Structure formats: C-alpha cells, structure tokens
Amino acid sequence: MAAKMAALPGKGRGGTLTMSLAYSAKTPSNYRLPLMLMAGFSAIILGLIIATELRVLLIPLVGVIVAIFLLMVPMEWVVLFQVSLSLVVAGFATYLANGSAEPQWVAYLMGWMLYARLILHQVSAGNTDRVRIANFLIPLSVFFLIVMASTAIARTPIFQAFVASKEYLSLWSLLLIFSTLSVTHDTVQKVWKLVLIIAVLQLPVTLYQYFFVYSTKGDSGTGSWLWAWDAVSGTFGGSKAGGPQGYVAAFLIVHALLAFELARHKLLADWWFWAITASCLVFIVLAEVKVVVGLLPIMFGLMYWRELIRHPLALLCSLLGLAFFVAALPKFYELIHYSNLGQLGFTSTQTDTVKMLEEWFDPYWKNQVTGELGRITQFTYWWRYNGWHDWYHTLLGYGMGSTQGGRFAKGVLVLQYAYTLDGTVTSTLLWETGLLGTLSYVAMLLVASRLSAKLARVDGIPLFDRIVLRMNSAGLVVFILLISYNAAPIRVPSVQVWMILMLGHAAYWYAKTDPRCFPQRKAAE
C-alpha cells in the first residue's frame, strides 16, 4: 500500500491550520526474500573463502554481506547508522589513522548504498504521490549539472572522476531520503536527538585528544604537529596535526543553543543543555578556535535578533556579554596556549593572535615549504591564472577532482601547480566548478537558510521541529561565513553530513507542509 504523505492541512482548535503526522514508512517486505537468498549464498561463499584462505576476497565479501543486511532492515535503522558512521566512526577512525583518507570511504560507500536502499523502498512501496520539491533544490541541481558538465568536457579520467564523486555525490542520498518523505516524522526527531548525543560525546573525546594524544607525540614518529590544541578535533576527523576545528566549534555552539531552546520549552531535560554547553566550552578552550571570536556574535544575532529587538535591556546585556567574551578569549588563549612558545624559539609575531589573523588574510601570503596559500591568496591566485583571459575555466572550472591529490588518483591541476589549490571551499569550487558552480553552491545555502526560517514560523509543524529549523537556519549561514575557512564541507564526511541533515530537515517539512500554512506577509498600509 502506498504511504500517505501528510501534506494536506486540517482544522485544529480555533481554526488554526494543522498537519497530520500519520505518514507511515514501514519497511516493505516483498524484496526481502531475494536479499535473504543472496545473504545465504554470500555466507556460503564466505565459508569457502575462509576454508581456502583466499583472504584477499574476505573484506569485499564482508562488505557485500553488510550491504545486503542494511538493505533488509528498516529505513530508520539505515539512516541512524549513516549519521553515526559519518559523525563519529569514520571521523574518529580517520583521526586515529593520523589523517589517512581510507576510513572515510566507509561513510562514502554507505552513502552510495543508501541510493540503492532508497530505490528499493520507493519501488516496493509503490508510492506514486507527488512530493513538493524544496526551492533550494533548484540551485543545488544547477550545481550538480555544472559539476557533471565541467567534468565531462574536461575529459576527466574515469578513475579520478569516481574517486572525486564520493565527495560530490555519495552523501547526498540522505537529502533524497528526507525530501522524498521516505522516513517517518519519528525517525526525523530521532536523528536530531542522536545528533545531540554526538554533541555530548565531543567532551570526553576532546579531553582524550588534548591530554593523552598530545602527551604521546614523541612516540608518534610523525613530527608533523607540535601544539596540544592541534590534536583536538573531536570525532569529526582530521589528524593529530589539525582538523575541522572551526566547524566542530560551530556544530557545538548551534546545538548548545538548540538544547537551550528545547529545554526552555520542556522538550529536553536541563542536564542535556549543561552537558552540551560544557562540551562546547571545553572544546573552544582546548582546541584554540580563533574563528569563534567572530563566529559566536554572528550566530547569536542570527538566532535571537527578533527577541533582542523586542527587549532592549536584554539586547544591551547580550552585547556587553558578547563583547567581554570576544575580547577575553584571545587573551585567554595567549595565557594558556601561547605563554611557553617563546621557550621554543618562536617570535612575538607568532604568539600574537592578531598577527596570525593578518597572515591568514594577507593576499600575498604563501608557505614555500608546505605549499599552503593564505585564505585570500587562494582567490587572487585563482584569478591570476584564470580571469577574463580564460573565461571558460573561470565560469565552469576544470572538473571535479582536478585539485585533489591522493594515493589513487591525482587531479590535473595538482600536477601543474606547486601550491595546494583545495585549501578552502571557495578555492576548491572555483578551480573545479568555476564561478557558476560556486555561486550555485552559495545560492543553495542562502535559499535553504531562508526556507528553514520560514518553516520555523509555521504553527502546524511540531514545536520540536520548529526549534530545530530555526537553529538550522543560522547553521546554514555559518557554512556561508566559513566558505573561505577550509574545505571541510567538501572533503570531510562528518561536516558534509551535518550540512545535509540541516538541508534535509527543511526539505522534509517543505514536502509535508501545505502552502496555506506558510506565514503571509502583511499588506503594506
């Protein structure tokens, strides 16, 4: 029987438009028998492999058996497993492997498997009902078309395109699952409760990384990292030399505020808020995330500007508190992190936070040893070698994977240029998808943020989800603000999955909400 989508409103108390949440996404069973037969056959083959000691085939076959199992279980289990795998397992395994990209393939392969799982679900359910498509999917579709067109025109080698496609295509299966209403409302709420648990989990992981991983640096044999704060990146991946600390800090700030709002409305126990806040503060202090100095006031303003305008006294107190925090944090970092750098032979320039920021945004800064470019230098470097004299590559880029270097495949630009071209999202997208692809990507985030904000004011949506939508609206803006920070939203599965979950939540509720439920602008008098 086809699942019914709760997109039609009904009359609630006082004539308010409400929505039914009766949509059911029970796992269809008409394809389980073939899968069970395949699993049984694979188990027999596995036994023969073990008996004949053909160990080279062991890992692929185990992967096939796991994939078959995941195709058989309910969609809810698969989605929760992918979220846990991406935000915890793959990232922390990458960290323990000191930045090796191989563990990330687990999350990417799971993403590809979700496409097959979604197709089986849709075919077996026989669902022919139309689903309303969220408006931000239009610029996202344009972005994917540009990626595919630029890759095809550039005649990117097939293997290189396959390796790069894992970062551009595989994880977006989660968005399709949400936007096609292939999961229930209960599953959606469980996903965000799981994300809150993962936010709390960052606390013990942070303490372990700072006090235990750093203390063993002399035995690591890498010699690639020096400071204790570099070893802190939570479960989001990276290496002992550094990781996506800025995005982990943003993740914790957003979910600390989310926990505060949920606790304030009696939808979450108070201790959850305090636990996530402790996790957030400890991470910010130990990871030395200087971007928080500018990020926190912006995020706070995005989330609470309506309340602050209505209450001037609260606005004044908030501004004073934020000003104190922003002014004190760099000095606090200097006291606990930089105080002993002089003993290691560093100059005062390297111990001064302001000077460090100046180096980041110097349009001519280059590191001749590591090949790194400054955040602004990456843009000027791209324009220098493209610009109007090469309008085609300026508009469409060189195709996906062209800036990526790795063990299995090296992009064409890696072989042509001496510097790293994929240090930030901006640089990566400009080189690989051109100006049009970059603008489509940014437009997608802007439109999705605005849609989340609109949905957060729809009375028919449950309060829990409206609060999540409100926080996600600000969270998506953070991805725009950090677009020139590093390349984590493209290269790191945990960061990309977090972004996709925010997009998916907006797409899910847009598909379930009748247009008449949306708040209308008041006519000008």
H/E/C letters for each residue in 369-400?
Answer: CCCCECHHHHHHHHHHHCHHHHHHHHHHCCCC
Tell me what pLDDT residue 25 has.
42
Tell me what pLDDT residue 221 has.
40
Find which of 263-267, 285-289, 302-306, 339-343 is predicted with most confidence, using mean pLDDT: 263-267
Residue range 408-425: average pLDDT? 81
pLDDT at 23 over 50: no
Instruction: Identify which has the larger pLDDT, 234 or 35.
Output: 234
Q: What percent of the chain has pLDDT over 70?
A: 73
Cα 259 to Cα 270: distance, rounded to the nearest angstrom: 8
Residue range 365-371: average pLDDT? 73
Residue range 149-175: average pLDDT? 89
Tell me what pLDDT residue 277 has.
92
pLDDT at 59 over 70: no
pLDDT at 431 over 70: yes
SS3 state at 366 = strand
Residue range 64-89: average pLDDT? 83
pLDDT band at 130, cuts 50/70/90?
Answer: confident
pLDDT at 344 over 50: no
pLDDT band at 28, cuts 50/70/90?
Answer: very low
Instruction: Identify which has the larger pLDDT, 83 or 298.
Output: 83
pLDDT band at 285, cuts 50/70/90?
Answer: confident
Cα 474 to Cα 453: distance, rounded to the nearest angstrom: 8
Residues paired with 239 in a beta bridge: 242
Tell me what pLDDT residue 244 has.
87
Tell me what pLDDT residue 516 has.
62
Q: What percent of the chain has pLDDT over 90?
A: 35
Average pLDDT, the chain: 78
Tell me what pLDDT residue 64 has.
66
pLDDT band at 36, cuts 50/70/90?
Answer: low
Cα 281 to Cα 258: distance, rounded to the nearest angstrom: 15
End-to-end alpha-carbon separation of the chain, Å? 50
pLDDT at 16 over 90: no
pLDDT at 20 over 50: no
Instruction: Identify which has the larger pLDDT, 58 or 203.
Output: 203
Contact present, 431 and 395 (Cβ < 8 Å): no
Least confident range from 19-33, 211-225, 303-317, 388-402: namely 19-33
Residue range 484-501: average pLDDT? 92
Q: Any idea what DSSP says for residue 513?
A: S
pLDDT band at 408, cuts 50/70/90?
Answer: low
Tell me what pLDDT residue 337 has.
63
Tokens 């990146």, residue?
Answer: 233
Tell me what pLDDT residue 303 has.
77
If you count them, how many residues does the chain have? 525
| 480 C-beta neighbours (distance < 10 Å), count | 14
Tell me what pLDDT residue 307 has.
74
Residues paired with 18 in a beta bridge: 10
Instruction: Identify which has the larger pLDDT, 342 or 241.
Output: 241
Least confident range from 174-183, 336-345, 455-464: namely 336-345
Q: Any idea what DSSP says for residue 337?
A: T
pLDDT at 29 over 70: no
Distance set, CA 494 to CA 92, 224, 226, 525 (Å): 10, 23, 25, 48
460: left (phi over 0), alpha (psi -120 to 50) or beta: alpha
Find which of 309-323, 376-390, 440-454 is predicted with most confidence, using mean pLDDT: 440-454
Cα 39 to Cα 61: distance, rounded to the nearest angstrom: 10
Instruction: Identify which has the larger pLDDT, 331 or 106.
Output: 106
Instruction: Identify which has the larger pLDDT, 255 or 303.
Output: 255
Tell me what pLDDT residue 415 has.
80
Cα 173 to Cα 122: distance, rounded to the nearest angstrom: 13
Give burial (CB, 10 Å; 0-12/13-18/19+) of 67.
buried
pLDDT at 424 over 60: yes
384 phi and psi angles, rounded to 5 deg: -60, -40
CA-derived radius of gyration, the chain? 24
Distance set, CA 41 to CA 61, 74, 172 (Å): 11, 22, 31
pLDDT tens for 208-231 read: 888 887 655 444 344 444 566 777
Tell me what pLDDT residue 449 has.
95
| 320 C-beta neighbours (distance < 10 Å), count | 10
pLDDT band at 33, cuts 50/70/90?
Answer: low
Residue range 188-204: average pLDDT? 95
Angle between helices 270-287 and 185-208 (to 10 degrees): 40
Tell me what pLDDT residue 357 has.
62
pLDDT band at 523, cuts 50/70/90?
Answer: very low
Distance set, CA 150 to CA 146, 299, 334, 435 (Å): 6, 35, 46, 12
Q: What is the pTM of this model?
A: 0.83
